[in-house]
Amino acid sequence: MTRRVSLAIFAILAAALFLAYSAPAQQTAAQSARAKKLGNQVKCMCGGCNDAAGSCYHSGGTFSGPCPMALDMLKKVDAHVANNDSDSATLNAFVQEYGPLVLIEPPKSGFNLTAWIMPIAVPLIAFFAVWEVVRRWRHRAALTPTAGPTAPAVPHDLLERVQRETHKDDA
């Protein structure tokens, strides 16, 4: 019994130790994923490329990877993440430092919100405009008299023959 209790205590302690060591590692992985995501939301401000800091490859440079400016920005991202700053606080800090140009996407506020609204609003307006045009067309088509007795009559036997032969072809 004593041996079983000792084994159980040992197992619990081992599990606790494992969790104690693995928990910070998971936290670091999560932080790393978050830092990667944030790094891709800010633009490398070196002026020589149009890449996100997180995926700067700096074409034409001596090293095809993050340039010194991108590395510096990524270190700042890491610092914010380690500090548990929220995403918006981190991005705001970058805007404070580099201006709105640093954000890879237009901010969803003020005039820049129109960047997001217009690609949805304009097609919607166009859709309703087309819908209205179609509705009018159909209305006009309904008012247009259909071919009446003046239309040239197709001989009945010829029509039957055409239907018979085309039907045979389709079978």
Judged by CB under 8 A, does residue 37 bind other proteins? no
Judged by CB under 8 A, does residue 108 bind other proteins? no
CB atoms within 10 A of CB 115: 12
Binding window for other proteins (CB under 8 A); candidates: 11-19, 24-32, 80-88, 121-129: 121-129
Q: Which of residues 128-167 bind other proteins (CB under 8 A)?
A: 130, 134, 137-138, 140-141, 144, 158, 161-162, 165-166
Shortest gap between Cβ of 28 and other proteins (angstroms)?
A: 18
Binding window for other proteins (CB under 8 A); candidates: 14-22, 77-85, 124-132, 145-153: 124-132
Give the interface with other proteins as residue ranges (CB under 8 A): 40-41, 43, 49-52, 55, 57, 59-65, 68, 71, 99-107, 110-112, 115-116, 118-119, 122-123, 126-127, 130, 134, 137-138, 140-141, 144, 158, 161-162, 165-166, 169-171
